[in-house]
Structure 1
């Protein structure tokens, strides 16, 4: 489970931005909270609001980029290859390093992992854990200088094999280092998501192909969503699958006839829901942290709300999955759906073009306050400034 994430100097985020899943003292909807250890309480869902170009997507991009650098497409750069740094652009002189830090729980143990980098080098890296409730260093790194507390000789050997543009968390796991294995596994097993408006069918198609309970669960959700689809079939090759949505038509005599459409011929909302429901099912089954940009894109508000309610409902979310999403849908600013500590904002300063991230709780809203109305009135910031009629005057 995710406790906290922070990022410095990434895209529009120049100064350190922090989001936290730690539950406040709010007593509302306590039954929806999740706990990694039976003591600490975390929220299962975080909604991030803000105007277009405010930087809310950049925060999610940073979180998923961290995953990509640990176990994805940027995890194994060739020696001398450039690192995927995207520093704050509106600044004279040489750019500062980019830094990520994440605090999470895996198998009941708390970990804190972070690193800083520029376009050529990993400049610093560290990993701590709390195996007995007390902080303990696993490793730290300042460029080529490493420090270890356990299995020092072997880890020094592994450190010597780690190129200056690679993370030690990655290279040590290639050599089955027991000290870093579990911390690495969390990124691989427990963090996934999508940025932008792209669609990934891989997870849904995998469940459909396996059949059985996984397929039936997806078909049940599609039926619940009232998309008019009775079944989903996959033909063609693994490289070029044809996804067919089966519809059932009933004539005046009650006779049923089945027709199939390629999924690409379905509405954009249907395609969007189909692409995401597999990820939702996998997250609920595995207790994954699911990161989604523009959750409402092309979907009806009631479908969006249903996806959120699945994570909020402790009877459905039995494995403590978490969801972090960006949205413009003010209909979700509903204190019967989300607690006050689950609503966050991104606002860009119009003078220095830097993004600031902050929580609704900083405004101490009343329990029965109309959050949607207050947000649209500008009470919490993070809305666009519409410049009146001047733009239309000649």
Structure 2
């Protein structure tokens, strides 16, 4: 998502201390080149961080087959929150988190916010003096991320950890081709500006659809059997 030196449309970019960031990017390649795998990896990382699971439950990771079935999965993600660049690292297998770290990037220097390995969780900066954060570090479950534990706890009161968790929880939204948005027609009906923008976008994208329109219909007029109509009403 980092912009090149190309100057055209520069006014559309987000400017941060680390450079210019693209508002949109495209991934392209041949079939079976790994496009879907990249998206699924992001979704998996998000689920590992924010997902609730019972003690002993397996983590949703899959082995890197070329490296061997017993090799853990590794993630490293660099992202920006509140004009601050953070780095999150995670290494895990199906049973437990092997390594985890959250760092802040300052220029070319990296500073740890926390680091977790076989020896436990090490806290730095404001977290080092945070008694509640220390308590979480002492009782963290093997199949739980420390970022998920402290980021979802408002009482921790560590802005960067909370911002990092919120980025995964609220801003990293994975939309699959089969994803369903049941509230879309309702918004289309209630928001004229949104409806106009959506119709314009469909036209520009050359979908063959010139516009969408909603037409109210009496449910009893639908060609459905009583059981189907009851099911439809229950679903709605």
Distance 2:93 2:145 in 1: 13
SS of the residue 2:132 aligns to:
helix
Distance 1:182 1:141 in 2: 19
Distance 1:233 1:125 in 2: 52
Q: Which has the higher strand share?
A: 1
Q: 1:122 to 1:238 in 2, by over 3 A?
A: farther
Q: For 1:287-317, what per-residue CA distance to the aligned partner results, in whole angstroms no more than 9, with x for missing partners?
A: xxxxxxxxxxxxxxxxxxxxxxxxxxxxxxx
The aligned counterpart of 1:88 is 64
Give the conservation status (yes or no) of the 8 Å contact 2:114–2:122.
yes
The two structures, once aligned, show a CA RMSD in angstroms of: 3.1
Cα deviation for residue 102 of structure 1 reads: 0.9
Give the conservation status (yes or no) of the 8 Å contact 2:113–2:127.
no
SS of the residue 2:27 aligns to:
strand
Distance 1:123 1:238 in 2: 48
**What is the TM-score with the length of structure 1 in the denominator?**
0.48
Cα deviation for residue 33 of structure 1 reads: 3.1
Q: For 1:75-131, what per-residue CA distance to the aligned partner results, in whole angstroms no more than 9, with x for missing partners?
A: 111110011111123565x52111111111111111111111001000111111247
Distance 1:139 1:169 in 2: 9
Q: Which has the higher helix share?
A: 2
Give the conservation status (yes or no) of the 8 Å contact 2:104–2:111.
yes
Give the conservation status (yes or no) of the 8 Å contact 1:144–1:164.
no
The aligned counterpart of 1:201 is 181
Q: How many residues align?
A: 215
Deviates more, 1:57-66 or 1:27-36: 27-36
- Give the gaps of 5 or more residues in structure 1: 1-20, 242-394
Q: 1:136 to 1:202 in 2, by over 3 A?
A: farther
1:183 aligns with 2:164: yes
Distance 2:216 2:67 in 1: 51
The aligned counterpart of 1:48 is 27
**What is the TM-score with the length of structure 2 in the denominator?**
0.76
Q: 1:29 to 1:130 in 2, by over 3 A?
A: same
Give the conservation status (yes or no) of the 8 Å contact 2:64–2:73.
no
Q: Which has the higher contact order (CA 8 A, sep 6+)?
A: 1
